[in-house]
Structure 1
């Protein structure tokens, strides 16, 4: 499509839609949204901040290069993927998840200890937060973990089976994290559903809440924000009556649900709701020891502060986001993955303010901390692509080096 440079993204979407003979309801339906949402996008009443939705629109409009919608043609190609990002560990994980046996093996199985299975799951979560190449290292462990977890649930009964179900739920939650943005959609949904089903079968409120947090991630990243909020709010309501006298980790997952809702609301532009949810998470953190960190969600004082930056950035309040980031000591966060994502948010804040030099420096820091976090997160890749297009001439070589390291196409 030959469009004048001054056309906005919304105007480009409308022109393409009309040239394809699509009505607003038809295009909106292809993206899983309503016609009123699309009308606000096309008229500029609502900003299109979701990279996932931008890709959905491009695919529905049969556009192969995202720059046709964004109007940023003078830069690296931004291909619209037919699937998701690729990772070499994905085929083995796919096989472990999708080739699940329907009947117990005829071979005698070794005794299964659910305590050892849970320990392996916990250690894998620690590796996820510790490694710069967490997808590769954790992904290599997951196929055997998944199969052993499934075998344990089939072999055990009573309280041992319940313990194995909780461990299996944790394993599937980790699988969801490790395969985010690289798993085919059908596997992402299967993994999220199995995590929740195992937790519900165990009838353990904290495991159910943690699985709902995971399901909320899938719903939000596939552009179902209202459903994501419903799931995490229902989970919070479920676990809340059990919090008095419960283990610290039960309050930790309750707090993580509040932060999840805060980011979801912020991405929808619901500023009041976003900060209301964040305040709830803040209160939970204050009720826990200062050095507390939830083992899988890393909820705690540092993560609450990190989420304040994310909320402000998603609300396009870059000055507030950068001010909040200035007061954070990132080294108190034990999760390398979460520290990398903090710097991605800070880079996005600098980009919102037009400070590309600062954004490039921060994105390089993010990549050094968590290479695969940056390489396999759409918002990070989008920031790197924007930096390559718009970096000052003196920084162009460094921007290109970063883009190549992340895997963003520049030619």
Structure 2
């Protein structure tokens, strides 16, 4: 349909919605939000800043090019996934999650896999997530069996074994949340986060509860519920705080990760004072741990605190500070390839804020070399790649185009 050039994003959304005969509650529900939220977007009372929600609106409206909604003149057609799954591993993961048996099989206890064996497989899968350049694909191949085995053990065992199985199950669902971030339908992301938290609560394990809350906070923040995200991670921090004096390193590690989560959430909302206050709390936790400590799943530690300092500065649009901090970091001290790749995406965002597209292109290529799937499946990285393709200096258009192609942002026909 023809859409007048002078319409705002909200007006475009309303026009597209009405042209398809969709009510406001229906479209809002497809995006996982309420009708009041959509009304504010359509009337211009609220700015649509979430790339994730923009993609969901486009998919729900069956629009394959984001520029139809944003109205931005562009050489880029940002592909919108119009189907249910965006990654080949998702259908099997979906089946494993949604076809969970309701009842324990009679006499099945003898066949239950030991919780320690399942936990060992989960720990190995976390290491793969952080070490592989194709982490989504490789971890996704392992998840369906892990989910089924952990679910079975948590149903079929009892006593201390059941608690251990529930801790492992919570860990499996946290890993699932990481591996399916941005590629899972919204309803699956919520199911996974809720199951991780429920299993941890049933196990009555404070560290598992806090880790699951960290995961839930990620889902809330990425679906534009920042206040709820902050509430969840801060309440989880209060659960752990009484134990910190004599807590194991990993308990303090997850506590520190919760503080950094709050720092980034505040930064994205423009709350500079609170952002740096929570970053400092995370910094103090890292100082209380051995210098070489790294949390096995969140990778909280000295290096991650430094990486988050760059992220906070970038989200606050303090690009000069962010780039200065990045200059002082040795990325190789971070054992997670996934986290190193995301650092370079943050640095690229900082360069773009200053208008230096040559530097941004250089570090985006580096990010892709380190963690290809991290770049391909992360919305902020795709936005950077699209911006570079649109506005790169003429001499760099070829390189920017090749990056856009491998990331999945291609030239419009």
User: Fold conserved (TM > 0.5)?
Assistant: yes
**Number of the residue aligned with 1:399:** 400
After superposition, what is the alpha-carbon deviation per residue over 1:175-227, rounded to whole angstroms, capped at 9, x for unaligned? 00001111111111111111001100000000000000000011111111111
Distance 1:242 1:71, change over 3 A: same
Distance 1:236 1:204 in 2: 13
**Number of the residue aligned with 2:390:** 389
Distance 1:161 1:88 in 2: 33
After superposition, what is the alpha-carbon deviation per residue over 1:13-70, rounded to whole angstroms, capped at 9, x for unaligned? 2543675799xxx69x937476699489948xx8754312444565688865322454
Q: Which runs of 5+ in 1 are unaligned?
A: 5-10
After superposition, what is the alpha-carbon deviation per residue over 1:120-162, rounded to whole angstroms, capped at 9, x for unaligned? 1111100000000000111111111111101111221111111
**Number of the residue aligned with 2:188:** 187
Q: Kindly indicate whether the alpha-carbon contact (under 8 Å) linking 1:129 and 1:337 is maintained by their aligned counterparts in 2.
A: yes
Distance 1:185 1:17 in 2: 20
Matches within 5 A, 1:169-248: 169-248=170-249
Shift of 1:397: 1.0
**Number of the residue aligned with 1:135:** 136
Quick check: 1:307 aligned with 2:327? no
Q: Kindly indicate whether the alpha-carbon contact (under 8 Å) linking 1:84 and 1:181 is maintained by their aligned counterparts in 2.
A: no
**Number of the residue aligned with 1:8:** none
Bigger shift: 266-275 or 165-174?
Answer: 266-275
Distance 1:37 1:342 in 2: 36
Q: Kindly indicate whether the alpha-carbon contact (under 8 Å) linking 2:129 and 2:139 is maintained by their aligned counterparts in 1.
A: yes
Distance 2:104 2:356 in 1: 59
TM-score (norm 2): 0.90
Match of 1:13 among 1, 4, 9: 9
Please tell me the root mean square deviation across aligned C-alpha atoms, in Å. Answer: 2.6
**Number of the residue aligned with 2:5:** 3
Matches within 5 A, 1:250-289: 250-289=251-290
Matches within 5 A, 1:71-110: 71-82=71-82, 86-105=86-105, 108=108, 109-110=110-111
**Number of the residue aligned with 2:323:** 322
> Secondary structure of 1:396's partner?
helix
Distance 1:175 1:343 in 2: 24
**Number of the residue aligned with 2:359:** 358
Q: Kindly indicate whether the alpha-carbon contact (under 8 Å) linking 1:41 and 1:48 is maintained by their aligned counterparts in 2.
A: no
Distance 1:403 1:245, change over 3 A: same
TM-score (norm 1): 0.90
Q: Kindly indicate whether the alpha-carbon contact (under 8 Å) linking 2:11 and 2:43 is maintained by their aligned counterparts in 1.
A: no
Distance 1:208 1:245 in 2: 18
Q: Kindly indicate whether the alpha-carbon contact (under 8 Å) linking 2:10 and 2:42 is maintained by their aligned counterparts in 1.
A: no
Q: Kindly indicate whether the alpha-carbon contact (under 8 Å) linking 1:85 and 1:181 is maintained by their aligned counterparts in 2.
A: no
Distance 2:223 2:199 in 1: 23
Distance 2:221 2:333 in 1: 28
Distance 2:41 2:105 in 1: 55
Distance 1:219 1:196 in 2: 13
Bigger shift: 178-187 or 109-118?
Answer: 109-118
Q: Kindly indicate whether the alpha-carbon contact (under 8 Å) linking 2:62 and 2:82 is maintained by their aligned counterparts in 1.
A: no
Distance 1:280 1:36, change over 3 A: farther
Quick check: 1:297 aligned with 2:319? no
Distance 2:261 2:338 in 1: 16
Distance 2:16 2:390 in 1: 29
Q: Kindly indicate whether the alpha-carbon contact (under 8 Å) linking 2:122 and 2:168 is maintained by their aligned counterparts in 1.
A: yes
After superposition, what is the alpha-carbon deviation per residue over 1:234-277, rounded to whole angstroms, capped at 9, x for unaligned? 10011111111110000000000011111111111111111111
After superposition, what is the alpha-carbon deviation per residue over 1:324-377, rounded to whole angstroms, capped at 9, x for unaligned? 111111000000000000000001111111111111111000000000000111
Bigger shift: 160-169 or 56-65?
Answer: 56-65
Distance 1:83 1:177 in 2: 21
> Secondary structure of 1:334's partner?
coil
Distance 1:280 1:37, change over 3 A: farther
**Number of the residue aligned with 2:117:** 116
Bigger shift: 229-238 or 100-109?
Answer: 100-109
Shift of 1:410: 2.1
